[in-house]
């Protein structure tokens, strides 16, 4: 607990009654994450799993400027306990791993959230923002929570150096029912104990000539893949590029869709100094991030419901709708993923926590950041062969029903739900979640 108390003394404001108020996000917090990580690892409270990364083209036609995705091999994750929950899971069925927070991994406490280390981390500095009182993994993130996430991401000075993600709902790849947001430094290459920043990050040297749209050439091929996809889309989708430019100075940026992405999604541009815009962005205090997030979720919800309706028309009785679509029509809450960087927020709906048989790879929100994880070389090779966009359309919702109609024709049993998976390229054992999320 000493680490967290040290932070409070340096970053918190004393209350009038002599007590200590919640911690504030200051530059010292990033060093505190490092310090607590070192102490926790020495005490065995945090386990680090080294991994190796390979890069692959996201599109079938690879060019010098084509966007890519990352597959990370981490054999040690095979020994990690597996959690998870279903649509029938209820609060209190299993103890929350976050209440109370483990003193050895607690970094800081905020008004409604605790910042703790991820017990099973592939990247050093991987932290979790957990609710200090119980809330379910699926509740919308509040405006205050989103602003706190943006402040934490700002601890990494370059766009793409860190990524935040939220798995909402049981189909999203979440493994713990207690609400939490994950923040992870992004590494372009293999992990090492002393690495806390990406080797390359996009927009670090943003154009100063008034350009508002980053091009393919402006984004390094080792940047966070999601940012590569956005840059590629802005180069090849004029409507998205125009919307991106309009969002540069908007108080509530309108969600954007990219024709280059084959799954339902919304992207919100978060204004910032490295966007290269000629007009200064609105002050952070005036940016209505909560409203933009709500609009993005509303957009994907409308798209999913329209998709299910179109699927029902294309599959007249006696053909059955896929199980996920039946559940949605019956009122099941939409599962979705959220991915955030300093200047981008993406939301994407989920129809499954796993890819289709025979592979059944589990995927969480990191997949929509462009990162897939495998426990063995064969799994990584298969993921690379399938390609990121096929994986994401299998677990997400395709933009066209023809994709799912082809799946149903190829695999009639797809209308039933296969076993849950663990988010790491393997079938999951149904166990209570007693540790921090992957």
Strand partners, 362: 354
- For the segment 334-361, the average pLDDT, to the nearest whole number, is 94
Residue 129: asked if its preceding bond is cis (omega within 30°), the reply is no
Burial class (CB in 10 A: 0-12, 13-18, 19+), 2: exposed
Residues 388/370, Cβ–Cβ less than 8 Å = yes
> What is the reported pTM?
0.83
pLDDT in tens, 91-142: 555 678 888 899 999 999 998 999 999 988 888 889 999 999 989 899 999 9
Residue 389 has pLDDT above 90, yes or no: yes
Residue 199 has a pLDDT of 34
Residue 213 has a pLDDT of 56
pLDDT in tens, 52-89: 999 999 976 556 567 899 999 998 776 665 555 555 55
Q: What is the CB-side half-sphere exposure of residue 180 using CA atoms within 13 A?
A: 28
Strand partners, 184: 163
Rounded CA-CA distance 58/330 in Å is 35
Residue 190 has pLDDT above 70, yes or no: yes
Residues 276/207, Cβ–Cβ less than 8 Å = yes
Residues 279/272, Cβ–Cβ less than 8 Å = no
When pLDDT is cut at 50, 70 and 90, the band that residue 156 belongs to is: confident
When pLDDT is cut at 50, 70 and 90, the band that residue 4 belongs to is: very low
When pLDDT is cut at 50, 70 and 90, the band that residue 412 belongs to is: low
Tell me the DSSP string of 366-392. HHHHTEEEESSHHHHHHHHHH-HHHHH
Closest CA to 396 of 354, 358, 366: 354
The helix (H) or strand (E) run that includes residue 147 is: helix 143-153
Helix and strand element counts for the chain (H, E):
11, 15
Residue 8 has pLDDT above 70, yes or no: no
Residue 202 has pLDDT above 70, yes or no: no
Q: Which residues of 114-146 are buried (b: 16+ CB within 10 A; e: fewer)?
A: bbbbbbbbbbbbbbbbbbbeebbbbeebebebb
Residue 220 has pLDDT above 70, yes or no: yes
- For the segment 422-436, the average pLDDT, to the nearest whole number, is 34
Closest CA to 167 of 383, 368, 327, 308: 368
Rounded CA-CA distance 116/104 in Å is 9
Mean pLDDT of the residues in the chain: 79
Residue 259 has pLDDT above 80, yes or no: yes
- For the segment 278-301, the average pLDDT, to the nearest whole number, is 78
Residue 183 has pLDDT above 50, yes or no: yes
The helix (H) or strand (E) run that includes residue 268 is: strand 266-269
What the chain holds in terms of domains, given with CATH numbers, is 2-415 (3.30.428.70)
- For the segment 218-242, the average pLDDT, to the nearest whole number, is 90
Chain-centre distance of CA 248, in angstroms? Answer: 23
Higher-confidence residue: 79 or 156? 156
In terms of average pLDDT, the best of 120-124, 183-187, 281-285 is 183-187
- Report the greatest alpha carbon distance in the chain: 70
When pLDDT is cut at 50, 70 and 90, the band that residue 424 belongs to is: very low
Residues 358/212, Cβ–Cβ less than 8 Å = no
Higher-confidence residue: 217 or 95? 95
- For the segment 178-206, the average pLDDT, to the nearest whole number, is 62
């Amino acid at each position: 607990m000493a680490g967290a108390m040290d932070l409070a003394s340096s970053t918190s404001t004393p209350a009038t009654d002599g007590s200590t108020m919640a911690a504030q996000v200051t530059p010292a917090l990033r060093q505190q994450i490092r310090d607590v990580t070192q102490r926790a690892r020495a005490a065995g409270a945090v386990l680090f799993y080294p991994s190796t990364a390979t890069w692959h083209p996201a599109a079938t036609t690879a060019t010098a400027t084509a966007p890519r995705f990352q597959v990370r091999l981490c054999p040690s994750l095979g020994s990690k306990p597996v959690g998870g929950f279903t649509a029938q899971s209820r609060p209190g069925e299993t103890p929350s791993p976050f209440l109370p927070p483990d003193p050895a991994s607690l970094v800081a406490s905020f008004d409604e959230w605790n910042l703790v280390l991820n017990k099973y981390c592939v990247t050093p500095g991987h932290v979790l923002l957990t609710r200090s009182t119980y809330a379910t993994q699926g509740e919308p993130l509040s405006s205050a929570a989103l602003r706190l996430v943006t402040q934490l991401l700002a601890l990494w000075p370059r766009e793409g150096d860190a990524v935040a993600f939220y798995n909402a709902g049981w189909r999203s790849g979440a493994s713990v029912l207690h609400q939490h947001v994950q923040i992870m430094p992004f590494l372009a290459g293999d992990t090492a104990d002393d690495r806390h920043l990406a080797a390359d990050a996009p927009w670090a040297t943003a154009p100063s000539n008034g350009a508002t749209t980053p091009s393919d050439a402006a984004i390094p091929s080792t940047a966070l893949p999601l940012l590569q996809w956005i840059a590629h889309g802005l180069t090849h989708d004029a409507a998205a590029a125009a919307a991106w430019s309009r969002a540069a100075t908007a108080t509530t940026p309108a969600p954007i869709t990219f024709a280059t992405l084959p799954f339902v999604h919304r992207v919100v541009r978060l204004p910032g100094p490295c966007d290269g815009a000629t007009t200064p962005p609105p002050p952070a205090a005036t940016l209505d991030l909560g409203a933009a997030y709500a609009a993005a979720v509303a957009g994907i919800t409308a798209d999913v419901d329209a998709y299910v309706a179109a699927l029902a028309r294309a599959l007249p009785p006696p053909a059955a709708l896929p199980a996920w679509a039946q559940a949605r029509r019956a009122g099941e809450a939409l599962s979705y993923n959220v991915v955030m960087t300093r200047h981008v927020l993406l939301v994407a709906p989920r129809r499954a926590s796993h890819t289709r048989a025979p592979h059944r790879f589990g995927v969480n929100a990191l997949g929509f950041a462009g990162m897939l994880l495998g426990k063995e070389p064969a799994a990584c090779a298969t993921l690379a062969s399938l390609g990121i966009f096929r994986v994401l359309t299998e677990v997400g919702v395709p933009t066209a029903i023809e994709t799912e109609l082809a799946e149903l024709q190829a695999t009639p049993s797809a209308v039933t739900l296969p076993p849950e998976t663990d988010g790491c390229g393997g079938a999951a054992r149904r166990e209570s979640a007693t540790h921090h999320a992957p």
